[in-house]
Structure 1
Amino acid sequence: MHNPNISFPPPAGMSNRSTFLHRNFLNLLTFSFLFLFVSLSKANELEALMQFKATLQKSNSNAFDTWTKEYGICNFTGIVCDSNQNVTEINLVGQNLSGTVSFDSICSLESLQKLSLGSNFLFGRISDHLSNCTSLQYLDLGFNSFSGEVPDFSSLSQLKFLNLNGSGFSGLFPWKSLENLTGLTSLSLGDNLFDRSQFPLEVLKLEKLQWLYLTNCSIEGQIPEGIRNLTLLENLELSYNHLFGRIPDGITKLTKLYQLEIYSNGLSGKIPEGFRNLTSLTYFDVSSNKLEGDISELKFLTQLKSLQLFENQFSGEIPVEFGDFRFLEGLSLYTNRFTGHLPVKIGSWAEFKYVDVSENFLTGPIPPDMCKQGKLKELLVLQNKFSGPIPENYVNCSSLIRLRMNNNSLSGMVPRGIWSLPSLSIIDLTFNQFEGPVTLNIGEAKSLAQLYLANNKFSGELPDTISEASSLVAINLSSNQFRGNLPAKLGELQKLTSLHCEYNLFSGIIPYSMGSCVSLNEINLASNSLTGEIPASLGSLPSLNSLNLSDNKLSGEIPARLSSLKLSLLDLSNNSLVGHIPDSLAISVFNNSFDGNSGLCSENIRNFRPCSPISGTSRGSRTFIFCFTAGASIIILSLACFIYMKFRYNNQDASMNRRDSWDMKHYRALSFSEEEILRELKTENLIGKGGSGNVYKVVLHNGKQLAVKHIWKSAYGDGMSFRSSSSILAKGKRYSPEYEAEVTTLSSVRHVNVVKLYCSIMSEDSYLLIYEFLPNGSLWDRLHGNQKIKMDWMVRYQIALGAARGLEYLHHGYDRPVIHRDVKSSNILLDEQMKPRIADFGLARILQVDAARDSTNVIAGTLGYIAPEYAYTSKVNEKSDVYSFGVVLMELVSGKRPVEPEFGENNDIVQWVFSTMRNKDNTVNIVDSSISEALREDAAQVMRIAIHCTARLPALRPNMRMVVQMLEEVEPCKLTDIVVDIETDKGKNQGQVQ
């Protein structure tokens, strides 16, 4: 390149004027060349950015709206230039971008120093072209869905910041390539499915590191003593790995640490001496290890905000100095062996948000000031040996959400203000020695969902105002000294699922209003002094599974309506009941349920006298009864003939009357009438029973097949013919929650992978939903049930992808996502070509804008599919569906049910998969052995996606759009060779809507 500051002599013999012109010409040539060079450079940068843009798909993003020639490169959204107008930074974090990244185009930007693409929906493998970005100092690809192995970073020697956290990579991480990155100050590689490896010693050479995040990286072995070399570290996170042995003494040299997290490993031994040197430590978490000894070294760490030591074997006393800590917000010491008192001053200065010291051997009183600053949300001291009363101070703790003090030796009266705390969701005081009443102000506890007071000495009457605590889900007052009547308005507790009042002194009648507690599945009023009759209204409870009224003074007959209940436990023993035991209850499983009622009779249960309606009557009485019965029969027959003739000669009017009693709503073009549907709802057409109703197969006159779901109503039993039930149907139009949810969702859905709803039919006593009929039943049937068939991976993959696309449409196809809330293999139906449809939206609902309205205190879903966050939150969102779908993927890959005996007690398929992968190097080991050898690796890749979907933290799960993209990327090579081997009788198509 010509330098304009260097003089060149003019050619010999040239005049001064010529010399002047010559020099100007050279300068003009130089500047023209520079201008052309810069122009070409800008053109190249523009082309590179346009290529990068072209590889990405915009999704609800306006990130590229300014990426046009009119704006100029340096005005593009996310682009930063230097003073020479060269691109130095691309920052598109969290822009909802999806697609594969063109690193060959990006790395042609020679001045690029910072590339930030984190928190998007990017996928695919990272090409080797990334190694050409040799000027990069900052690289953020975290929280995406890339696949394959991490490329070699050796050439990126200028890197200071590297974030691949939660980015989807797998395989063996190239630890060796880090040796050249000696300038790194921040390294985040956590939450990826890397192959297991020893603690990477290469990291110990990166002495400029200030941030090291290697949580959930499949690292095993011991933390090396050489960790002491990283003296600039401020954050060290090594949690959820396979580390064992002692915490090295070298950690005590890292005096700049403000956060140290090494939880969920297998670490043992004591906290090392010298730990007191870490005086800057603010967040310390070594929970879920095997650590032991006392924690006296921690009493010097006065800057602590969060201290997590739970699930270890620590012992000794809790340092009294903790009472002077001013910044402590979270203290979790549960499941250890601590003894002595909880420091009396604890909380005097600190703005505690939660305290959990449960499952230790602590004694003495409850410290009074843990909510002194008014921020405490959770106070959990259960399973210790605390004594004395609840301090009066806590009546002012309006922030408190969870109060659990069960299994202690606490006593005295509960301060009146505790019962009415506005945010309190759970009060658990069971197994103590509390006494006195539940006060009237409990009706003000509008957030109270769980009230557990069992095994105390509470007394007095249960106030009627408890029916105003409208969020109550569970009440357990058993083994106390409550007396008086049960509140007459208990039926107003519409969310109540469990009521335990056994072993008290309650008297009076069982409130008839309890028949309105539509969510009740468990009632236990045993061992009281209740009188009067059993309310027939209890037979209207659609979910009631357990009913225990034993050891009372109940009289009268057993209501016939109890026959409609689906009970697993029934105990009416030791009362004063009389009359006939309903035949549907007189079964072997309930053989002892009626003992101690001498007035009962039954033809089916031994030890009870037979019911003889004419025994003990005179001959004249029998004659009268016979004549009366015969006369009544003649009248009934005559009336029946009259009705038949009227129907025959006035069919048109009758048909019109029948139509008038039904409300049919069309959602698609129909070729049938409601009469044609109603005619076919017969026992012989019943093909399935689900949690919310019977399902019938209906064949129309034109040969078209439909599935008709008859929603359960509390007024009639599940085995009853639809036509014959009208005489005992409940009066007044009542809407079933399942009906409303299913219709609201399905009536607006138009997607090839969501079951079609043709119409709904409603009367004042029944609800019908008419769907397309899918002849191959459900995925559960084909994988696990009596219709199980051999399915190779090609078929299973297509089912997985189709079902994912259906859920993607529900989550992303509306302004607000549709949450299914019961995703499982039995709710994925299969058509004649084994293509899937998402079905059964009985639990679905449109997500409300106000998140508070989306919470529920009733766990929705099915065992084995329920997301773990239900254990600590009542929020429902799309990530709960994603978890359930991940379980379905695990079923498809492994062939196993969500819950199997081989998984061990209290374990499910998710825990089994994680455990198996942690103990074996090859994911292929958990693939169903019936899948052909050539496709087992393809199946294993889907299992890796399933693991992403079932991450314990919802934030680490992909959304359904990302799941679809990941599944599309692992598509098997020869989908055209799919062979569907359906080994079943085509005449036995069952299992339509579960």
Structure 2
Amino acid sequence: MAAATIFRRNFHLFSILCLLSVANSDDLQTLLSIKTIFKDSKTKAFDSWELNTPVCNFSGITCNSNGFVNEIELSNQNLTGLLPLSSFCQLMSLEKLSLGFNNLYGHVSNDLNKCFSLKYLDLGNNFFSGSFPDISSIKGLISLYANKSGFSGTFPWNSLQNMSNLQVLSVGDNPFDRTPFPSVILNLTSLNWLYLSNCSIEGNIPEEIGNLVELIDLELAQNHITGEIPKGITKLNKLWQLELYWNNLTGELPSGLGNLSNLEFFDASTNKLIGNLSEIRFLNKLKSLQLFENQFSGEIPAELGEFKNLVNLSLYTNKLTGQLPQKLGSWADFHFIDVSENFLTGNIPPEMCNKGTMTKLLMLQNNFTGEIPETYANCTTLIRIRVNKNRLSGRIPGGIWGLPNLEIVDFAENNFEGPITNDIGNANSLAQLFLAKNRFSGELPSDISKASSLVSIDLSYNRFLGEIPATIGELNQLTSLQLQGNEFSGPIPDSLGSCRSINDINVAQNAISGSIPASIGSLPTLNFLNLSRNQLSGLIPPTLSSLTLNLLDLSENRLTGPIPESLLTEANNGSFAGNNGLCSEKIRGFRRCSPVSGMPRHLRLSLLCLVVAFIAMLASIVGFCYLKKKTERVGERSLKDDSWDVKSFHMLTFTEDEILDSIKQENLIGKGGSGNVYRVVVGNGKELAVKHIWHSDNYGKKMGSSTPMLSKRGSKSREFEAEVQTLSSIRHINVVKLYCSISSEDSSLLVYEYMPNGSLWDRLHTCRKLALDWDMRYEIALGAAKGLEYLHHGCDRPVIHRDVKSSNILLDEYLKPRIADFGLAKIVQADSAKESTQIIAGTHGYIAPEYGYTNKVTEKSDLYSFGVVLMELVTGKRAIEPEFGENKDIVDWVCSKLKTKESVVSIVDSAIPEVYRENAIKVLKVAILCTARLPTLRPTMRTVVQMLEEAQPCKLVSIIIGKDGAGEKPESRENDKL
């Protein structure tokens, strides 16, 4: 009997072990099949997943006490592919599945319902599509993360109704269909984390939100929520973070908000809230308070000065009055303050940098008085100090000029006085110095030339005197120099001609004397030159004729001699008035120039040499043009006489002879700097575009010249090679297809797919203009962005286009865009930090501002140019329009219209229907981010694609624009969720 009992027990144990062995074997096979599915992923996550390794020793795998797999942690492992839910759900004991921050895509099937043991599910931060599946059978779920995963349609809110244990619900940042606040959530009383930002919730926040008393985090930002903040929120006294920004909330802060005694982060910015901030005085654990862009009024509670943890304060663009608490920011590691555009008075709190951590002091457009506190002279962490348009006075503490991390100093439009001290030579990071309209005085220290990062200097309308430092030319990144309205004297430094990046020089209304330096005429990017109302004398340098200026003003000086005829344009009318010594044969009001014989002998000889040289050059040009046209005609008739080398990059359905026979005048459809373009129809009816490029070195010989026109490798040849190198390896639907190249000793042919709808420029701005509706414009913007994303991120080495503009975005028969014209493109090498170019490539109006002061080639210049294209699509305007004003382009014009919502709406193309205006403004905001003046503030092309996808019509996401400079990330939202 005892033996039988022992046998039964052993048999039972043996059976259990067998079952466990079979079960463990099943888990092993399941995990190995999952590894196979992800075999194309560039990851090391599965290195330990081998047949002879125990399952529980696999990396990312946790087993329960019975040896079954119950947790899988594969987040942030660079997994790529479809989600194999049927495999994961075969793991019968699986309680945790974490796959967040990967590259998973495609639809998520309803097989997810078979993972009925799950308690923790993370699919967040992936690239799925379609609707989120029904999960009603996973009743024990505690944490659900599906935020920023690409899900759309209607979220299955009702599938949550039986999940009484659910503590974390994070499904924000998905383009779901609009829906009122889901009532089913109000019954999930175990919730402590609710993230529903940017998922298309509309209507009011229910009063019953107060039922969720366990909530620690509540985020409802970037939705379409209206009405008042419900009083029920004041019951959530465990709240640590409350995010309500970028909605349409109205009314006052609810009475009792001070009950949220544990609140550390509160953001209700960019709404329509009114009333005072009295409830804030009780929230003494606050670390970050962001209420900017509302209509709050009254005074800032004095209690904020006693908040021991406050590090971020942003209240800009409200109607606040009174003084700032003088102890503000003195207790904690204070980071930044932005209270710009209010009606605040009194002094600047002196102790906000007590802990030596403050980075930004932003108080633009208020009524502050007093001086800049001396304490900030030691605040070495400051990056920006901007206090323009106040009533501040006194001298700037000397140490401020030389703070090592300071990038922007903006003291404009106050009553400051005193000098700029020599400390400015220590300002290694200073890029922008704005001191206009104050009472600054004294000489400009020569040490300013040591602040080598300076890009913009505006000292206009002060009382500076003495000479402009002779070393000013050492600022080789300088793009703008504004010194007008001062008392500067002495000459214009000849070294200014070394500022090869400068595009704007204004020294008007001073007492500058001497002659105009001839070196100014060699500045390659100069667009605006104003030397008026000074005491300049001598001749106008002939070198100015080589400049391409949008503005030239030499009026009210003491200049003499002839006005160079090349400067006599309608745009320059009035540019020479008030110079009694000038003469001209063409401008009325000026005396006629004296005969040549009256000139000094050396001038007569110089003029004679110039005339002879000019005549010779003119004869050469006329002869060259004649022979070029003649040679082109002959060349086109005899192309088949040459020996041609064909390199194909796709399967060809045409022959070399078909192409050569079609290069003739009647097929010519365009001419450009890179060659003639022909429309060719081959035997099978296929349309092609063929670019014919003459090699410059052989072109000179063909013309009969004894020496080549250019070097052995001429510019056209280099351009041809650049285009072939770039396009031959590219395979993308939004990049124009290069079928083949056909080359001879004299010229080359590039054979492309033909784009029957021309360029985006044609369709927006010329007689070929089409009525592009918003859907078309949006698809063009998104397609072009994807093409550029591929060039920047999808090639073996990034390709920088360097001439992105609307005329280089071609449209096929369905108006699908293709990026084209790669004659200026550059492939970034491994040592890209050393890559540079000596030629400023691009087109005026599209060129990024830093392109003028650095020779480095980066993708960020393409981002700027693409931002201009987006502005064209939204506004219907060209990149340069007379209505923008002097010295302005579309970026300046758009940024000038960002003051009110009404002015923003006014710049949207009137052809875009009212119902799409909101969508257009979302795309405009992407454009503004792309055209930030500082390259580091621009997003990547990959981010731009994501933002545009999220801004598709009817599925919108708000993209924040910073108040402190167009296109910059807001100073008040350092954890901004784009």
| Corresponding residue to 2:366 among 352, 361, 384 | 384
| Corresponding residue to 2:299 among 314, 317, 328 | 317
| Corresponding residue to 1:496 among 475, 478, 491 | 478
In structure 1, C-alpha distance between the alignment counterparts of 2:896 and 2:449, rounded to whole Å: 41
Q: Secondary structure at the match of 2:104?
A: strand
Q: Which amino acid aligns with 1:381?
A: M
In structure 2, C-alpha distance between the alignment counterparts of 1:589 and 1:887, rounded to whole Å: 25
In structure 1, C-alpha distance between the alignment counterparts of 2:560 and 2:669, rounded to whole Å: 37
Decide whether the 8 Å contact of 1:801 with 1:964 is kept in 2: no
In structure 1, C-alpha distance between the alignment counterparts of 2:790 and 2:327, rounded to whole Å: 53
Q: 1:191 to 1:878 in 2, by over 3 A?
A: farther
**1:334 corresponds to which residue?**
316
**2:417 corresponds to which residue?**
435
Q: Secondary structure at the match of 1:409?
A: coil
In structure 2, C-alpha distance between the alignment counterparts of 1:257 and 1:97, rounded to whole Å: 35
In structure 1, C-alpha distance between the alignment counterparts of 2:270 and 2:781, rounded to whole Å: 38
In structure 2, C-alpha distance between the alignment counterparts of 1:323 and 1:139, rounded to whole Å: 43
Deviates more, 1:465-474 or 1:834-843: 834-843
Summarize deviations over 1:863-885 as a string: whole Å, max 9, x none.
79999x99xxxx99979978987
**2:143 corresponds to which residue?**
161
Q: Secondary structure at the match of 2:535?
A: coil
Identity within the alignment, %: 48
How far residue 451 of structure 1 moved from its aligned partner, in angstroms, is 0.4
Q: Structure 1 residue 780 and structure 2 residue 765: aligned?
A: no
Q: Which amino acid aligns with 1:150?
A: F
**2:209 corresponds to which residue?**
227
Summarize deviations over 1:309-366 as a string: whole Å, max 9, x none.
1111111121222111111110111111111111111122122110111111111111
Q: Which amino acid aligns with 2:333?
A: E
Decide whether the 8 Å contact of 1:56 with 1:101 is kept in 2: no
In structure 1, C-alpha distance between the alignment counterparts of 2:847 and 2:518, rounded to whole Å: 36
**1:467 corresponds to which residue?**
449
**1:984 corresponds to which residue?**
none
Q: Structure 1 residue 301 and structure 2 residue 283: aligned?
A: yes
Q: Secondary structure at the match of 1:267?
A: strand
**1:579 corresponds to which residue?**
561
How far residue 447 of structure 1 moved from its aligned partner, in angstroms, is 0.3
TM-score, normalised with respect to structure 2:
0.74
How far residue 44 of structure 1 moved from its aligned partner, in angstroms, is 2.9
| Corresponding residue to 1:151 among 133, 141, 146 | 133
**2:576 corresponds to which residue?**
594
Summarize deviations over 1:532-560 as a string: whole Å, max 9, x none.
12122222222211111111111122222
Decide whether the 8 Å contact of 1:484 with 1:507 is kept in 2: yes
Q: Structure 1 residue 72 and structure 2 residue 27: aligned?
A: no
Q: 1:894 to 1:462 in 2, by over 3 A?
A: closer
Deviates more, 1:443-452 or 1:337-346: 337-346
Summarize deviations over 1:483-517 as a string: whole Å, max 9, x none.
11111111111111111100101111111111121
Q: CA RMSD in A?
A: 5.4
Q: 1:964 to 1:370 in 2, by over 3 A?
A: closer
Decide whether the 8 Å contact of 1:121 with 1:962 is kept in 2: no
How far residue 296 of structure 1 moved from its aligned partner, in angstroms, is 1.6
Q: Which amino acid aligns with 1:227?
A: I
**2:464 corresponds to which residue?**
482
**1:751 corresponds to which residue?**
730
In structure 2, C-alpha distance between the alignment counterparts of 1:752 and 1:399, rounded to whole Å: 47
Q: 1:94 to 1:551 in 2, by over 3 A?
A: same
> Which of these two proteins has the greater Rg computed from alpha carbons?
1
| Corresponding residue to 2:674 among 695, 705, 726 | 695
Q: 1:797 to 1:566 in 2, by over 3 A?
A: same
Q: Structure 1 residue 135 and structure 2 residue 117: aligned?
A: yes
**1:648 corresponds to which residue?**
none
Decide whether the 8 Å contact of 2:289 with 2:312 is kept in 1: yes
Q: Structure 1 residue 505 and structure 2 residue 505: aligned?
A: no
How far residue 38 of structure 1 moved from its aligned partner, in angstroms, is 3.1
Q: Which amino acid aligns with 1:780?
A: L
Q: 1:687 to 1:579 in 2, by over 3 A?
A: farther
TM-score, normalised with respect to structure 1:
0.72
Decide whether the 8 Å contact of 1:519 with 1:541 is kept in 2: yes
Decide whether the 8 Å contact of 1:557 with 1:578 is kept in 2: yes
Q: Structure 1 residue 215 and structure 2 residue 197: aligned?
A: yes
How far residue 526 of structure 1 moved from its aligned partner, in angstroms, is 0.7
How far residue 807 of structure 1 moved from its aligned partner, in angstroms, is 3.8
Deviates more, 1:288-297 or 1:210-219: 288-297
In structure 2, C-alpha distance between the alignment counterparts of 1:886 and 1:42, rounded to whole Å: 56
How far residue 752 of structure 1 moved from its aligned partner, in angstroms, is 4.2
Q: Secondary structure at the match of 2:566?
A: coil
Equivalence map 1:440-451=2 (5 Å): 440-451=422-433
In structure 2, C-alpha distance between the alignment counterparts of 1:917 and 1:362, rounded to whole Å: 40
| Corresponding residue to 1:375 among 357, 364, 369 | 357
| Corresponding residue to 2:188 among 194, 202, 206 | 206
In structure 1, C-alpha distance between the alignment counterparts of 2:906 and 2:26, rounded to whole Å: 49
Q: 1:484 to 1:540 in 2, by over 3 A?
A: same
How far residue 686 of structure 1 moved from its aligned partner, in angstroms, is 13
In structure 1, C-alpha distance between the alignment counterparts of 2:704 and 2:269, rounded to whole Å: 61
Q: Structure 1 residue 514 and structure 2 residue 493: aligned?
A: no
| Corresponding residue to 2:401 among 408, 419, 426 | 419
Q: Secondary structure at the match of 1:180?
A: coil
In structure 2, C-alpha distance between the alignment counterparts of 1:865 and 1:587, rounded to whole Å: 25
Q: Which amino acid aligns with 2:398?
A: R
In structure 1, C-alpha distance between the alignment counterparts of 2:416 and 2:564, rounded to whole Å: 42
**1:362 corresponds to which residue?**
344
Summarize deviations over 1:573-614 as a string: whole Å, max 9, x none.
111122222222211121111111122223333333344535
In structure 1, C-alpha distance between the alignment counterparts of 2:765 and 2:108, rounded to whole Å: 42
In structure 1, C-alpha distance between the alignment counterparts of 2:792 and 2:372, rounded to whole Å: 49
| Corresponding residue to 2:505 among 514, 523, 536 | 523
Summarize deviations over 1:705-730 as a string: whole Å, max 9, x none.
555899xxxxxxxxxxx999x9999x
Summarize deviations over 1:158-206 as a string: whole Å, max 9, x none.
1111111111111122222221222110111111111111111111111
Deviates more, 1:881-890 or 1:275-284: 881-890
Q: 1:890 to 1:407 in 2, by over 3 A?
A: closer
In structure 1, C-alpha distance between the alignment counterparts of 2:821 and 2:695, rounded to whole Å: 12
In structure 2, C-alpha distance between the alignment counterparts of 1:832 and 1:304, rounded to whole Å: 57
**1:53 corresponds to which residue?**
35
Q: 1:775 to 1:505 in 2, by over 3 A?
A: farther
**2:663 corresponds to which residue?**
none
Instruction: Give unmatched runs, 5+ long, in structure 2.
Output: 624-646, 649-667, 679-688, 697-702, 742-746, 880-889, 951-978
Q: Secondary structure at the match of 1:447?
A: coil
- How many residue pairs are counted as aligned between the two chains? 836
Equivalence map 1:882-901=2 (5 Å): none
Equivalence map 1:976-987=2 (5 Å): none
Summarize deviations over 1:749-794 as a string: whole Å, max 9, x none.
94345789999xxxxxxxxx99957575875356546577999999
Decide whether the 8 Å contact of 1:351 with 1:373 is kept in 2: yes
Decide whether the 8 Å contact of 1:59 with 1:96 is kept in 2: yes
Equivalence map 1:3-14=2 (5 Å): none
Q: 1:848 to 1:503 in 2, by over 3 A?
A: farther
Decide whether the 8 Å contact of 2:846 with 2:864 is kept in 1: no
Decide whether the 8 Å contact of 1:950 with 1:957 is kept in 2: no
Q: Secondary structure at the match of 2:470?
A: coil
| Corresponding residue to 1:348 among 309, 316, 330 | 330
**2:380 corresponds to which residue?**
398
How far residue 441 of structure 1 moved from its aligned partner, in angstroms, is 1.9
| Corresponding residue to 1:250 among 227, 232, 254 | 232
In structure 1, C-alpha distance between the alignment counterparts of 2:118 and 2:864, rounded to whole Å: 36
Q: Structure 1 residue 266 and structure 2 residue 245: aligned?
A: no
In structure 2, C-alpha distance between the alignment counterparts of 1:380 and 1:922, rounded to whole Å: 29
Q: Which amino acid aligns with 2:82?
A: T
Decide whether the 8 Å contact of 1:96 with 1:120 is kept in 2: yes
Equivalence map 1:717-728=2 (5 Å): none
How far residue 387 of structure 1 moved from its aligned partner, in angstroms, is 1.1
Q: Which amino acid aligns with 2:231?
A: D
